Chain A
């Protein structure tokens, strides 16, 4: 067939594969649904003009990077670029209700949901740590995260470590995780 028909297939596949991860990432960066949608669309539309061969094998980090740059543009325009620094978060997070819930022991007990708690805590991490963990959660390797964020891989490693350490150190997380592990031990003990 004449060329021009098939090359777009990989872009559509990329949309299927990466729309959700990119959207989540962009929303966390921007705290704004529409701006995030714009950044995601910008990444894919830019991808349309790219040569597939050139990006072979590294579409994911490329998309995240383009999306991130767009998001940073938005933040700069809003005077918020410092929000990607290592400092504490400076903007209220969209996950407010969840964070609030995390402070409410009754809610927590009711849900007994580690994931919900973490989601709130994640929002309170310094932005760079949160971003690193977000990207890891989306399946990127440290190396790819370094590529996306323009940080050194060692720095990424430390950021992930710091983020996870403070999450792990949160008393409620600790008790939930420990409880889980104790449960494991108990159950195996009971059957041996």
Chain B
């Protein structure tokens, strides 16, 4: 323990642990680079940075450390369902011994909704108590709108209790007391924007410890002079809890909602093992006995939120399908990236609505002053001939360049070291350069950087000054220090400074997943974005690169900001997004667009929406103008598909078992209106970009439609895309669809295809076909079927 020598006598390694003062001083530099010093030590070290060598060491260390943090994402694995089940069972046991009154709770409080009860079906395995616990959790809170209409019921599997039971047995500890906690969250558990667990409490602890004299903390001066510290072993654990500030942080209604959503997500995941295909998927992704079927193995830390496809619903029980318009297209680019890399994408990266909306359709332009046109068409469902496929198409008004309102764009660009790869920052710069060509003197552009050499790179500049803008774009480089954390606030401040009333005010965030934009608290970030969107400044998110992409988070953020989320996987996509779409999405022609489709129970027995799982709204939110929804920009087109089983036709056995999912509804009186021959009515609510109240449009569909091959090219192409998505998802709803059918159908429905996008789709289908497993374990992967559905 002679490592406390003063600096002058330094440099002789001590035999016991080979630490010396020189090394400890050098370690301070490393600690500085890793952001591990408090303010006092930091300024001490900063004085050393006058020495270029020291600065070089810090910079290199930072670069390496940043890359290291990126590598940990290479080790990501999907959430373990075993773990969640074990935890829920353990919680049940802990609570059982802690509180008898939970078990005694009257059934009325715990029965909840039928959905909640079904959701918890498997819990009977671990005893009724666990069930009552969770039902209480789910049912006694107001369900958030997204969940209210969502079906998450999956079949139960008798074998799924095994692994968890085994582990539980191995970890049988005393069931301690679970004390009542007044608030529900906020104990420093929030992950920061990178998904890095943010032990806020821990930070506080360290702060507090810094004020405590003694062995808990050593500052720079101590290193040279102080006596050796006592072992710090359990010091922090022995310290009193310090988190008064954190208590009560999350008491308001929004948080209750947020919490309920989280709990429901956890429970959804618990349901997951019931689904054999999904369980197998998880095993594959975990790398445990992964079959060689070429499925993308969740490269690195990319995260794709697990979701369950919409199921068939009985019209008698649920005549309304309500959802928010979604014009994101990121999923298609992700799928393309995987397929181009020789892998099938992970199923959860495949979002049908984003695939569908990647393409433009030839729906008629809106007439008169309408912001968009609505087209509804039906035909025989190609993958299940007993069913009908209904396409709903919206097309936004095109705004000629000359009528384009002035743009006020602020680019918020991630310049962290990880952005250096060719498919990241250089791609963003390329896209920006292309965008500049489209700007004129009415537009303004500013560039703010974050997560690297952060700051205002280009103050808001007129679009006419192309030279200055291009120079600023050219100067963007990744890496460097991580000072300044104003990031997003600076970007919004730039946007506010040059706010164009009636114009397009937009912050465009380009990142590979590092969301360290200056606000680490997810909720605060979401609140800021939502508030700014309410003030008229919207947010668009551009994801780039691979290995670090926080897909779900980026999508969520864009949704908060009324913006689109696009993924750039190459120069071609950059052109599409920056030139073709950003000019479109920069002009919002209708906002908070919600679609409600009302099915006529006299004609439609059951229905299923394809995709839009993350965009479902509760029926009551349709009329609630305070509920946010998506936007439509100039030139945007939005397509939604429904598969419906008609009354009478539903019994048609030619296409398999159409009634499999439609639980026979209880007999009920049909309202007189149901005598109408309409299949359905599409109802749209939207607001003008500057309006606060919504307008309602209704478009009924009376035609049942004929043969699929006689349908419009748009419907056929959309069906092909949907079939492709379902195949990639290993969807149980894919019916007769095969890659061969998808390719054949799409190739006959290319239309004008000005951009060549549909043709490119064909290429992807062929790639997927070559990668898809020919034969899988029985009952899991659908065996290849004869391609006969297009009839």
Assess A42 versus B171: contact at CB under 8 Å? Given A4-B99, A9-B137, A27-B75.
yes
10 inter-chain pairs at a CB distance below 8 angstroms, sorted by A residue, are A2-B105, A15-B83, A41-B171, A116-B74, A141-B199, A146-B236, A157-B28, A160-B27, A162-B23, A188-B475
Interface membership of A93, Cβ < 8 A? no
Contacts of B232 in A (CB 8 A): 146-147, 151-153
> Are B167 and A139 in contact, CB atoms less than 8 angstroms apart?
no
| Minimum Cβ distance to chain B for residue A97 (Å) | 12
Identify 5 new A-B residue pairs, CB closer than 8 A, beyond the known A44-B83, A122-B71, A138-B72: A4-B95, A10-B184, A19-B79, A113-B421, A155-B17
By beta carbon, the residue of chain A nearest B36 is A142
* Cross-interface CB contact of B188 among A56, A115, A150, cutoff 8 Å: A56
Task: State which residues 345-398 of B face A: CB under 8 Å.
Answer: none
| Minimum Cβ distance to chain B for residue A71 (Å) | 13
> Are A158 and B61 in contact, CB atoms less than 8 angstroms apart?
no
Across chains A and B, the number of contacting residue pairs, with CB separation under 8 Å, is 352
> Are A8 and B137 in contact, CB atoms less than 8 angstroms apart?
yes
> Are B233 and A56 in contact, CB atoms less than 8 angstroms apart?
no
Contacts of A158 in B (CB 8 A): 19, 23-24, 27
| Minimum Cβ distance to chain A for residue B116 (Å) | 13
Contacts of B200 in A (CB 8 A): 57
Assess A15 versus B266: contact at CB under 8 Å? Given A41-B82, A168-B60, A184-B477.
yes
Interface membership of A31, Cβ < 8 A? no
- Main DSSP-derived SS at the B contact region: helix
Interface membership of B34, Cβ < 8 A? yes
> Are B266 and A46 in contact, CB atoms less than 8 angstroms apart?
no
Interface membership of A110, Cβ < 8 A? no
Chain B, residues 616-647, CB within 8 Å of chain A (1/0): the string is 00000000000000000000000000000000
> Are A141 and B187 in contact, CB atoms less than 8 angstroms apart?
no
* Cross-interface CB contact of A60 among B170, B185, B188, cutoff 8 Å: B188
Contacts of B167 in A (CB 8 A): 37-38, 41, 45
- Nearest 4 Cβ contacts at the A-B interface: A57-B201, A49-B176, A161-B27, A3-B180
* Interchain CA distance A150-B137 in the complex, whole Å: 37
Assess A143 versus B209: contact at CB under 8 Å? Given A57-B201, A133-B68.
yes
Contacts of B87 in A (CB 8 A): 11-12, 15, 41, 44-45, 48
Interface membership of B70, Cβ < 8 A? yes
| Minimum Cβ distance to chain A for residue B112 (Å) | 12
| Minimum Cβ distance to chain A for residue B224 (Å) | 12
* Interchain CA distance A164-B189 in the complex, whole Å: 28
* Interchain CA distance A13-B197 in the complex, whole Å: 11
Contacts of B74 in A (CB 8 A): 115-116, 119
Interface membership of A75, Cβ < 8 A? no
Interface membership of B246, Cβ < 8 A? yes
By beta carbon, the residue of chain A nearest B29 is A161
Contacts of B64 in A (CB 8 A): 118, 164, 167-168, 173, 177
Contacts of A173 in B (CB 8 A): 64
| Minimum Cβ distance to chain A for residue B181 (Å) | 5
* Interchain CA distance A56-B186 in the complex, whole Å: 9
* Interchain CA distance A5-B101 in the complex, whole Å: 11
* Interchain CA distance A21-B139 in the complex, whole Å: 31
Interface membership of A96, Cβ < 8 A? no
| Minimum Cβ distance to chain A for residue B188 (Å) | 5
> Are A17 and B174 in contact, CB atoms less than 8 angstroms apart?
no
Q: How large is the interface on A (under 10, 10 to 19, 20 to 34, 35 or more residues)?
A: 35 or more
Contacts of A7 in B (CB 8 A): 95, 178-181
Assess A140 versus B233: contact at CB under 8 Å? Given A15-B84, A115-B547, A168-B60.
no
* Interchain CA distance A57-B176 in the complex, whole Å: 20
Contacts of A147 in B (CB 8 A): 232, 235-237
* Cross-interface CB contact of B218 among A53, A56, A154, cutoff 8 Å: A154
Contacts of B184 in A (CB 8 A): 6, 9-10
> Are B236 and A49 in contact, CB atoms less than 8 angstroms apart?
no
* Interchain CA distance A168-B562 in the complex, whole Å: 43
* Cross-interface CB contact of B199 among A23, A48, A59, A160, cutoff 8 Å: A59
> Are A9 and B259 in contact, CB atoms less than 8 angstroms apart?
yes
Interface membership of B177, Cβ < 8 A? yes
Task: State which residues 65-88 of B face A: CB under 8 Å.
Answer: 65, 67-72, 74-77, 79-80, 82-84, 86-88
> Are B199 and A161 in contact, CB atoms less than 8 angstroms apart?
no
Contacts of B229 in A (CB 8 A): 152, 154
Assess A51 versus B547: contact at CB under 8 Å? Given A5-B136, A141-B206, A164-B64.
no
* Interchain CA distance A96-B137 in the complex, whole Å: 45
* Interchain CA distance A40-B79 in the complex, whole Å: 12
Task: State which residues 79-117 of A face B: CB under 8 Å.
Answer: 86, 112-116
| Minimum Cβ distance to chain A for residue B392 (Å) | 35
Contacts of A10 in B (CB 8 A): 181, 184-185, 187, 189
Task: State which residues 23-44 of A face B: CB under 8 Å.
Answer: 23-24, 27-28, 33, 37-38, 40-42, 44
Interface membership of A187, Cβ < 8 A? yes
| Minimum Cβ distance to chain A for residue B513 (Å) | 13
Contacts of A122 in B (CB 8 A): 68, 71
* Interchain CA distance A144-B140 in the complex, whole Å: 37
> Are B94 and A49 in contact, CB atoms less than 8 angstroms apart?
yes
By beta carbon, the residue of chain B nearest A63 is B197
Assess A57 versus B417: contact at CB under 8 Å? Given A161-B23, A181-B63.
no
By beta carbon, the residue of chain B nearest A160 is B30
> Are A157 and B36 in contact, CB atoms less than 8 angstroms apart?
yes
> Are B77 and A23 in contact, CB atoms less than 8 angstroms apart?
yes
| Minimum Cβ distance to chain B for residue A128 (Å) | 11
> Are A37 and B202 in contact, CB atoms less than 8 angstroms apart?
no
Contacts of B199 in A (CB 8 A): 57-61, 139-141, 144
Contacts of A11 in B (CB 8 A): 87, 91
> Are A115 and B67 in contact, CB atoms less than 8 angstroms apart?
yes
* Cross-interface CB contact of A180 among B30, B72, B192, B420, cutoff 8 Å: B420
Chain A, residues 175-192, CB within 8 Å of chain B (1/0): the string is 001101101100110111
* Interchain CA distance A136-B71 in the complex, whole Å: 12
* Cross-interface CB contact of B83 among A41, A116, A177, A192, cutoff 8 Å: A41
* Interchain CA distance A14-B594 in the complex, whole Å: 35
Interface membership of B59, Cβ < 8 A? yes
By beta carbon, the residue of chain A nearest B200 is A57
By beta carbon, the residue of chain B nearest A49 is B176
Task: State which residues 424-446 of B face A: CB under 8 Å.
Answer: none
Chain B, residues 235-251, CB within 8 Å of chain A (1/0): the string is 11100011100110000
